[in-house]
Amino acid sequence: MSAPAKPSFEADDARTRVDALGRIGHENHLANSERFTSNIRTVAPGVWCVTGNGLSNQTFIDAPDGIIAVDTGESIEEMTAALRYLRTVTSRPIAAVVYTHFHYVGGTQAVLTELGRDLPIYAHARVDINRRRTGGEISPTYGRGLVEQFGISLPPDGPDGLINIGLGLTYRNAEHSPHSPGYVPPTHTFAESCELNIAGLKMFVHPAPSDADDSATFWFPDLNTAIHNLVWPVLFNVFAIRGEEYRDPRTLIAGLDHLISLNADHLVPTHGAPMSGAADIRRRATKYRDSIQFMWDQTVRLTNRGYSGEEIAAAIRLPDCYADDFITTELYGVVEHHVRQIRCGLFGFFDGDEAKLFPLDRRDHSNRMIDAMGGRDRVRDMVRASRDRDTRWSLELASMLVHSDEAADSDRALLAEVLRTIAHRTSAANIRNWCLTRARHYDGTSDMARHNQHRLNTRALESDTPEAAVHVLRVLLDPELLGDTDLHIGWRFTEGAVTGLHLRHGVACCTDGQAADSTITCTRGTWAAILGNRTSLAAEIRSGSLTISHRVDEVVRSLAAFDVDGLRQ
């Protein structure tokens, strides 16, 4: 195995710095901020890219029939700012919008407002599906993960101040507040490679999953330019610490091979600065591609040799040849997490370590370990003694104290100290932001408990399908409160939709609502307001805005088994 190029965090504070705003971080993490200046770059004649405006870029292509806008950021305000940049270089109207993937499509309404009419929008067929997915059943974990990974709750300055988030300065640019949603669904979709004529310009589409399964590469042969979501300004994030679906490196490598084969003069990314020059693009993109294959190949090699997840994480580091370019550097995530994700993505959570076959409950395990080490005071002393010289061990010990019986505020403060030590020594934005966010939770600076609840968004429920606004309850059911109930409830919305849930055997099974034992009738807005805790089931029944056809008391009692305050009041 090659010698390690760099660990996930330094063993000491030798490379820790304090900037002019009092923010403490690794020198490489601080230096990365300089790459995210806000401006519009002329990539080639008729090709402009706005960088540093938000977490993603907005790209504009001058086509015969008007401007093609690629990606619209995270809000109306962000895209409005991008359009201001565009108007410094051209006054031609936008003729079409194209989405590279579902992450950065939230500002399209700004384009329609400027134009004064609708226009064609092109995207992968899964973009709209993925937008709904992240706001429904998994929204609490998805939202909590965003707060932690992107340091959304961190202050702007001081020791815990947000420095950057690896792919950009911030998740949402503060200058764009209040970040109004402006997503507009695509009017034209694709699922396979195809050739399109957009605004009079030929564009080849090649689906290329990366951090999203709806990502695509767009090739403009007449401009010798490719727009993509493959080569990032950091080592690719196989594992997202916020939690995401498995990103298979084999699929990513295939997309990169296709991108490299285009021999483009210009690569315009979703994140980071564009690249120009065919030879330089081939050299850098090839090394980027090879860094991903290295992690995959070595993970498989050691897995086949019987290594556990922890052993793989300890053994694999990128060779030194990757350290000379920031696009293959740990400025976002870290290799030891990526390789563990690859192993888990291939074979699941059990890695052959006997101790993980039937592990003790976390609290029980912590209690026993603390007792075996000589008691809480002894473990606290060990945490303090090892924090600077053996930080991984200190982190494990401090975590035991917090996740055991009799955990005190001082134990949580101790764990916070260890997490801050790691945050100050890592070049990876995800790790720094996650560790600081958790540290502030444990020491009481910023309580994250509210992010552990499923807070359904009224506006999102109203805009989603009627079925989704009911079927989301499946993952909110407390089976102990439901008991042995067997009840089929239908929903008939006055706008015309009918759907249902059959409560039985501790689950809520989705139905079409036909032949239900009892039917709830109301508007979609009323139901969304109840789930969003803006009103209650009881209040809407009293007002007559919601009616229940049969077995009223049983329906009300059964709905109280769901983790929604509006159904329990």
DSSP H helical segments within 248-357, as ranges?
249-261, 278-304, 309-315, 335-347
pLDDT in tens, 61-112: 999 999 999 999 999 999 999 999 999 999 999 999 999 999 999 999 999 9
User: CA–CA separation, 263 vs 232, rounded Å?
Assistant: 18
- Point out which residues pair with 50 in neighbouring strands: 40, 58
Token output for 134? 């992240």
Q: Which helix (H) or strand (E) holds 473?
A: none
For residue 203, the SS3 value is: strand
CB-side neighbour CA atoms (13 Å) of 199 = 23
DSSP state letters, 302-319: HHHTT--HHHHHHH----
pLDDT of residue 569: 77
DSSP H helical segments within 1-160, as ranges?
27-32, 76-86, 108-115, 127-133, 139-149
Q: What is the pTM of this model?
A: 0.91
User: CA–CA separation, 10 vs 474, rounded Å?
Assistant: 44
User: CA–CA separation, 100 vs 127, rounded Å?
Assistant: 9
How many residues are present in the chain?
A: 569
For residue 218, the SS3 value is: strand
Cβ atoms 236, 134 nearer than 8 A: no
Cβ atoms 296, 338 nearer than 8 A: no
Q: Which amino acid is at 279?
A: A
pLDDT in tens, 195-238: 999 999 999 999 999 999 999 999 999 999 999 999 999 999 99
At residue 506, φ and ψ (nearest 5 deg) are 80, 10
Cβ atoms 400, 379 nearer than 8 A: yes
- Using CB atoms within 10 A of its CB, is residue 497 exposed (0-12), middle (13-18) or buried (19+)? middle
Token output for 160? 């815990």
Nearest to 6 by CA among 296, 238, 329: 329
pLDDT of residue 478: 96
- Point out which residues pair with 405 in neighbouring strands: none
Cβ atoms 32, 326 nearer than 8 A: yes
Cβ atoms 134, 103 nearer than 8 A: no
- Point out which residues pair with 62 in neighbouring strands: 67
- Residue keyed to tokens 């194209």: 98
Cβ atoms 76, 181 nearer than 8 A: yes
List the chain pLDDT tens, one digit each, 569 residues: 343 435 899 999 999 999 999 999 999 999 999 999 999 999 999 999 999 999 999 999 999 999 999 999 999 999 999 999 999 999 999 999 999 999 999 999 999 999 999 999 999 999 998 887 766 677 778 888 999 999 999 999 999 999 999 999 999 999 999 999 999 999 999 999 999 999 999 999 999 999 999 999 999 999 999 999 999 999 999 999 999 889 999 999 999 999 999 999 999 999 999 999 999 999 999 999 999 999 999 999 999 999 999 999 999 999 999 999 999 999 999 999 999 999 999 999 999 999 999 999 999 999 999 999 999 999 999 999 999 999 999 999 999 999 999 999 999 999 999 999 999 999 999 999 999 999 999 999 988 877 767 677 788 788 788 898 999 999 999 999 999 999 999 999 999 999 999 999 999 999 999 999 999 999 999 999 999 999 999 999 999 999 999 999 999 999 999 999 999 97
Cα–Cα–Cα angle for 238, 262, 40, rounded to 5 degrees? 75
pLDDT of residue 397: 98
User: CA–CA separation, 336 vs 340, rounded Å?
Assistant: 6
Cβ atoms 222, 63 nearer than 8 A: no
Token output for 252? 């990513």
Cα–Cα–Cα angle for 394, 314, 400, rounded to 5 degrees? 25
User: CA–CA separation, 561 vs 543, rounded Å?
Assistant: 23
Peptide bond into 178 cis (omega under 30): yes
For residue 230, the SS3 value is: coil
Nearest to 83 by CA among 53, 103, 105, 63: 53
Nearest to 341 by CA among 439, 187, 411, 237: 237
Cβ atoms 448, 50 nearer than 8 A: no
User: CA–CA separation, 132 vs 156, rounded Å?
Assistant: 31
- Residue keyed to tokens 């009616």: 547
Nearest to 397 by CA among 430, 373, 421: 373
Token output for 323? 């350290």
Cβ neighbours of residue 229 under 8 Å, at least 6 residues apart?
Answer: 100, 101, 208, 210, 211, 212, 215, 216, 217, 269, 270, 271
Largest alpha-carbon pair distance within the chain? 76
User: CA–CA separation, 207 vs 47, rounded Å?
Assistant: 22
- Residue keyed to tokens 């059943």: 137
pLDDT of residue 135: 63
DSSP state of 519: E
For residue 569, the SS3 value is: coil
User: CA–CA separation, 186 vs 121, rounded Å?
Assistant: 5
